[in-house]
Amino acid sequence: MRIRTGDLVEVISGDDKGVRGKVLHVNRKEGKVLVEGVNQVKKHMHRTRKTPQGGVLTREMPLPICKVMLVCSRCNRPHRVGLRRLPDGSKERFCRKCGAGLGLVGAPRSKASKTS
């Protein structure tokens, strides 16, 4: 998956289409992301020690990862993301539209771990 916690994403379909938010959590097993301020629902909660307020609370629910797109920092628009290997052997995410780097994904591979 090319979306990570802390990324700025934009919702591309559904009721919250066009809304941008920061990724709070990525659930890789279920293929869902929790985005700040998106897909909010009202939940009726009993008063407990965890939720001393109780009553009707508003909270974000997870979205399928296919409904969000990463926003490029240079273009400031949502675009597809690719992976490329740098000369030192590390992987980097990049914007497919403008080619801007969006951060490293993996550590550089050592020469000893390469197989011929």
Closest to 82 (Cα-Cα) out of 67, 97, 64, 65: 97
Predicted confidence at residue 45, as pLDDT, reads 87
pLDDT over 90 for what percent of the chain? 35
pTM: 0.76
pLDDT in tens, 33-70: 999 999 999 989 888 888 888 888 888 999 999 999 99
When pLDDT is cut at 50, 70 and 90, the band that residue 113 belongs to is low
Q: What does the longest C-alpha to C-alpha distance in the chain come to?
A: 63
pLDDT over 70 for what percent of the chain? 93
In sequence order, the 6+-apart residues with CB closer than 8 A to the CB of 52 are: none
- Domains of the chain with CATH codes: 1-45+55-71 (2.30.30.30), 79-116 (no CATH)
